[in-house]
Chain A
Amino acid sequence: MPIIDAHLHYSHDAWETVPPKEAIAILRKAGLKRALISSSGDDGQQRLAALAPDLVIPELRPYRSRGEIGSWFRDQSVIPYLEERLGKYRYAGIGEFHLYGADADLPVPRRMVQLARQHKLFLHAHSDVDAVDRLFKQWPEARILWAHSGFDRPEKVREMLRKHKNLWCDLAFRTDHARGGKVDADWRSAFLEFPDRFMVGTDSFTPERWYYIAEHASWSRQWLGDLPKDVAERIAWKNGENLFGGLLAQ
């Protein structure tokens, strides 16, 4: 089954250790149809996109190095960086960014949301419920991909999906939804209620984890096989294709 991996990073410390050609070979060997990739800084995923435009869906991360995870939302210099990159390159979204609670209403995240609106991009938010709500309040028509489904309980995830019709969830770095190829009952209910709103993802937060992408794809295929075929296909790749493919075509 083809897979769209909706949560990959190719950050500065990966460029030397997993060179672009090798990175693309890893993605193809894993049987990925597409991969949503962001980098800290942005040059990494641009290198990959140049090598494999059919495969790489570029996403703009507001970090120039991964160390900015906890500081970017108060750092005014992030904005000119985003503006410069958005002026130069094409992206499907902005993210993955880490943003919690009331920090979502700080000036830097607010301006980032305006930029996403202006460029018609989705937001990839590693956030809690509160921050997701605040982002939607700033831009009610926003399309948000909720990284790791907020590491929240399936009941809460369903509640959020009911509340926000433009919210999608990635399942990166979570294992609670499936074990031994079997889908957890609560998560099954979530997948069946919202088959169009979930995607899988590896989260290559360190360069070594590029060597986990194939393993993750194979693990995903196992548990997806426990779902009705049409639901499995949507989560595996069709939802990603619908969301990102459309944005790329614009």
Chain B
Amino acid sequence: MIRLLLGALLWVCASISWAQVLDFSEAETRAILRHGPWPSPWSPDPTNRVSGNPAAIELGERLFFEPRLSPSGKVLCATCHAPFRGWQDGRARAFGLAETDRNTQSLFNVRNNRWFGWDGAGDSLWAQSVRPILEAREMGGSQAEAAALIRRDPELSCRFEKTFGAPPPADDEGVFAGIGKALAAFQETIVSGRTPFDDFRDALEKGDRQAAARYPLAAQRGLKLFVGRGNCSACHFGPAFTNGEFHDTGVPFFLKGGADPGRHGGLKKLQANAFNLLGAHNDDRSGSSAVKTRQVAIEHRNFGEFKVPSLRNVAQTAPYMHNGSLATLAEVVRHYSEINPDRLHAEGESLLKPLHLSAGEAADLVAFLESLSETSSALPPRLPSTACR
């Protein structure tokens, strides 16, 4: 009798678990599986000869928290990319020495990017990393001042030599490129951890419905919308939830007395940048890494386009959009739900159509986005700092 009761209880439990996994179609399942596995494989950046190098990571970490890279002594990389705020600043628009025009992007998984910054003005992480040092409203520095700091500070100078195998060179540009590459090596370690979504995705792949049933139903319904009717995964694609490209999503992009050119301006900056991958500081002698920079063309449509951000840890990185104009994930969902097609060119972003989500559907989509938050950190343990010898 007891055995019979236990059997019935197990059957009931199993039924409840089964009932808690929505019925995903084959197409939906395929789309979901494309968002993993996580962490995704990564190999060092061939354009940066110290990518993945422990000495470079240590130097980069020091530089990331080094206020003297700004002549003001008041602004460091971590001012805007604060580790305790999801590697951003929680502000609508970044504030270094003054307020800028754009929201600070999180550095989580920044190593996976193809283009860097909202406008893609950087084609490598190391080139992007030195940009804020020179910006008047961010750190307000110069190549000469940054290079002089590395040369005169014994600790930084020693670490530079340890990283690059030679003392800081006489030319400022060479030292500056080294600063960028060390900063990049450090930022490559900023990887987000696994999330409830990843556990669900892997369970789905293995056919483990019991494990899959641990994923909240609201998140499952939101995921169904994300890969289905919402078509969100067309741009927020792959394990990092971004296609790495640029789109006009109908967010106004006025600035005082003008407009933010977005990708159009970014491409012009990229082409003019001595640190782009077509320049002398690219360590990839094969030339293959520079193909994207050589081939990318400026188009009219790029005006007002901004990069598709990754959605991993998105709940930690409010506010949203290129100018921080949307305060919450609920507002972002509402923006897409009620998107104004009049703002999009008739030949342009046909992917974007008003979804007219119900309140419940919008809440489900938010629940799904919140399930992209890591449950434990994947950051490497920080080693005690010792003096360079």
Cα A209 to Cα B264 in complex, Å, equals: 12
Shortest beta-carbon contacts, A-B, top 9:
A66-B342, A208-B259, A211-B259, A175-B299, A211-B258, A212-B303, A67-B342, A206-B343, A208-B253
- Cβ of A74 < 8 Å from any Cβ of B? no
Q: Is A216 within 8 A of B300, CB to CB?
A: yes
Cα A207 to Cα B304 in complex, Å, equals: 11
> A: which residues have CB within 8 A of B?
13, 17, 65-67, 69, 98, 126, 148, 151, 173-175, 179, 202-203, 205-212, 215-216
Among candidates A69, A179, A210, residue contacting B342 with C-beta atoms closer than 8 Å: A69
Chain A contacts for B379, CB-based, 8 A: none
Chain A contacts for B252, CB-based, 8 A: 208
Q: Is A212 within 8 A of B347, CB to CB?
A: no
Q: Is A205 within 8 A of B297, CB to CB?
A: no
Task: For the complex formed, measure the closest distance between the CB of A129 and the CB atoms of chain B, giving whole angstroms.
Answer: 15
Q: Is B345 within 8 A of A179, CB to CB?
A: no
Q: Is A148 within 8 A of B347, CB to CB?
A: yes
Q: Which A residue sits closest to B253, measured CB to CB?
A: A208
Cα A140 to Cα B341 in complex, Å, equals: 34
Task: For the complex formed, measure the closest distance between the CB of A33 and the CB atoms of chain B, giving whole angstroms.
Answer: 21
Q: Is A179 within 8 A of B297, CB to CB?
A: yes
Cα A17 to Cα B343 in complex, Å, equals: 14
Q: Which B residue sits closest to A126, measured CB to CB?
A: B346
Task: For the complex formed, measure the closest distance between the CB of A212 and the CB atoms of chain B, giving whole angstroms.
Answer: 5
Among candidates B298, B304, B342, residue contacting A208 with C-beta atoms closer than 8 Å: B304
Q: Mark B258-289, 1 if CB is under 8 A from A, else 0.
A: 11010010000000000000000000000000
Q: Is A173 within 8 A of B301, CB to CB?
A: yes
Q: Which A residue sits closest to B299, measured CB to CB?
A: A175
Contact A209/B341 with A98-B346, A175-B298 known, Cβ cut-off 8 Å: no
Chain A contacts for B341, CB-based, 8 A: 67
Cα A244 to Cα B2 in complex, Å, equals: 93
Contact A212/B297 with A65-B342, A98-B346, A206-B343 known, Cβ cut-off 8 Å: no
Chain B contacts for A208, CB-based, 8 A: 252-254, 259, 303-304
Chain B contacts for A69, CB-based, 8 A: 342, 346
Task: For the complex formed, measure the closest distance between the CB of B188 and the CB atoms of chain A, giving whole angstroms.
Answer: 33
- A148-B347, A205-B345, A206-B343 given. 7 additional CB < 8 A pairs? A67-B341, A69-B342, A175-B297, A179-B297, A203-B300, A206-B304, A209-B259
Contact A209/B298 with A65-B342, A69-B346, A126-B346 known, Cβ cut-off 8 Å: no
Cα A211 to Cα B264 in complex, Å, equals: 12
Contacting A at CB under 8 A, from B239-253, are 252-253
Cα A205 to Cα B347 in complex, Å, equals: 11
Chain B contacts for A215, CB-based, 8 A: 261, 264, 303
Interface centre among B252, B304, B342 (most CB of A within 10 A): B342
Q: Which B residue sits closest to A179, measured CB to CB?
A: B297
Contact A173/B345 with A206-B304, A208-B252 known, Cβ cut-off 8 Å: yes
Q: Which A residue sits closest to B302, measured CB to CB?
A: A175
- In the complex, 5 of the A-B residue pairs with CB atoms within 8 angstroms, ordered by the A residue number, are A69-B346, A209-B304, A212-B259, A212-B261, A212-B303
